[in-house]
Structure 1
Amino acid sequence: MVMTFIPLPWKPELVFTGTSVMGINPETEKFCSHVDYWDSIKANDYFSLEGLWDVFRQLRMYKTPDLETPKYQILKRTANYEVRKYAPFIVVETQGDKLSGSAGFNSVAGYIFGKNSKEEKIPMTTPVFTETDDAGESKVSVQIVLPQDKDLDSLPDPNQETINLRRVEGDIAAALKFSGKPTEEIVRQKEKELRDSLIRDGLRPRKGCLLARYNDPGRTWEFIMRNEVLIWLEDFSFEED
């Protein structure tokens, strides 16, 4: 369940996943009780301080630009991360230098700003991804997601050989959200934190990770920046808890 908290001006989303248990009166055959068990807390009492704190944590302000983002469905939300099912999307990418780096961004941004075979300007989206597919970061790519109404056949060709268009197939990822300036040390710390949590919960994280940066660092206060570390999962199912 996803709810928008309207009273606050930044309208944060409250996300709850779990199990609802309904009791039925055998005489009247009507519902007589309803208890929700949230995935994000352990104390699921009628009035749970842990539950109240979980709600309060979700009210914090993150700045998410009013731009198109990759489509995903939240399958599960724990106290530490979300499990999301992403729909397929297309990225324009080139080689980067490190997860928190900016090398290569101007090249992929130039593609959507019209430096392509058709001189076509393509709407900006969010976030900007940097991805590595191994722990040693021997290969890092910087990516901009292209609008959902685009497909590989209709997109203009890049002007540079170092730029590539690629379709990312829909898959399931775990995401850990955090604010502040995403330095390399912080990103690696968050990646380890997320990976450790997944393994502890019996899930199977793949090698590598992605850093998602939603904001222009020159125009956004650090304490409201929205950043995420994502790790793709192997064979996620609800029975693995």
Structure 2
Amino acid sequence: MATAGQLSGHFYRPVLTAVGSNCRRHVAARFLPVPRRRLRPSMMSLQVGNETPSSTVDMEQLVGFLYKDLPHLFDDQGIDRTAYDERVKFRDPITKHDTISGYLFNISLLKNVFTPDFQLHWAKQTGPYEITTRWTMVMNFSLLPWKPELVFTGTSIMAVNPETKKFCSHLDLWDSINNNDYFSLEGLVDVFKQLRLYKTPDLETPKYQILKRTANYEVRKYEPFIVVETNGDKLSGSSGFNNVAGYIFGKNSRMEKIPMTTPVFTQATDAELSSVSVQIVIPSGKDLSSLPMPNEEKINLKKSEGGFAAAVKFSGKPTEDVVRAKENELRKSLSKDGLRAKVGCMLARYNDPGRTWSFIMRNEVIIWLEEFSLD
């Protein structure tokens, strides 16, 4: 994955170059590749011509401004265009614009076609005239009947023009690809891969926030949730499901019917993935003290505290061999990326196997993480 300043073997720095005879009156932003061997700390600063600008920019104020302004990226209020140079340069792996009008057009297009949910995680100064933000953007492609969900996470490097004290360039780097240069075929493939058809029932699911999506998995932060569970036989098995489903459908101390949720979890708590429980999530808004007691001793109500987890999504019939292979691949990817995974895993099955074609089934293997940080 490319770091904030590294693209395809080069470091990129925003540079202001003079246009016309008066560089203080006319400046334009561009990105220059700098070979690694020639990189110096001073080269990461924003420059006008060959001189370091002497004007003072309140970078702390601009960081605070982004915290207030960027959450409006896709709502009716929108971002404040007066904070950007007219000739602002925008680049991501598959899009580029060279004016504020083009920049705002791109935002409007995404808003109308994809209904994005933008989440700003942090913003901080990373250079004399540079601010970096980290974000998650979840979009639904409304033009396709199945409205696929597209997820992008990454960082944006925003350069400030010291003369106008406005943003003069905006470079997006995606976590899911290595080549973040424009135009990136890898980026285009990453978009098309997310357009595939998964059938997700219109039922409540445990609430989580996607913090990071790589090429191999996504990291989520789950809110606490309650499950009704009993012993199962194996990760891909169905033994015990009828018992927990019976509790939901009214076989409890108050004969109370509880709305169904998705997915159904089978959770293994040991390294061999042999100690398994089957779980159905209780709808949010319920607490342990208000729920009816199970009629059977082998059924338990339990609160999961949530936390950080890595998930990989796949379709098809989740056989035991497939699930164990996915768990092994995910665990290797986490280890390679320096993330500490907990013992065991969960299989999440979103669909009724008797009513859903296997090629559109949504399944996930989920592994809880010891900790996770976006810094």
TM-score bin (small chain)? over 0.9
TM-superposed deviation, 1:33: 0.8
For 1:53-202, what aligned pairs fall within 5 Å after superposition? 53-202=189-338
Name the structure, 1 or 2, with higher relative contact order (CA <8 Å, separation 6+).
1
The percentage of counterpart residues that share the same residue type is: 77
Name the structure 1 match of 2:345: 209
TM-superposed deviation, 1:26: 1.2
SS at match of 2:289: coil
Cα separation, 2, equivalents of 1:146 and 1:71: 12
TM-superposed deviation, 1:194: 0.4
Which of 14, 17, 25 aligns to 2:161? It is 25
SS at match of 2:290: coil
Cα separation, 1, equivalents of 2:168 and 2:272: 56
SS at match of 2:159: strand
| AA aligned opposite 1:23 | A
Size of the aligned set, in residue pairs, is 239
| AA aligned opposite 2:238 | S
| Contact 2:228-2:244 at 8 Å conserved across structures | yes
Name the structure 2 match of 1:46: 182
Q: Is 1:4 aligned with 2:129?
A: no
Unaligned residue ranges in structure 1 (runs of 5+): none
| Contact 2:234-2:274 at 8 Å conserved across structures | no
| Contact 2:273-2:345 at 8 Å conserved across structures | no
Which has the larger displacement, 23-32 or 69-78? 23-32
SS at match of 2:322: helix
Cα separation, 1, equivalents of 2:292 and 2:353: 29
| AA aligned opposite 1:228 | E
More helix by share: 2
TM-superposed deviation, 1:228: 0.1
TM-superposed deviation, 1:23: 1.2
Aligned-CA RMSD value: 0.7
Q: Is 1:36 aligned with 2:172?
A: yes
Q: Which whole-Å deviations, capped at 9, do the CAs of 1:175-209 have from their partners, x for residues lacking one?
A: 00000000000000000010000000110011100
TM-superposed deviation, 1:32: 1.1
| Contact 2:236-2:323 at 8 Å conserved across structures | yes
The alignment's TM-score, normalised by the length of structure 1, stands at 0.98
| AA aligned opposite 1:37 | L
Which has the larger displacement, 24-33 or 68-77? 24-33
Cα separation, 2, equivalents of 1:136 and 1:234: 19
Larger gyration radius, structure 1 or structure 2? 2
Unaligned residue ranges in structure 2 (runs of 5+): 1-136
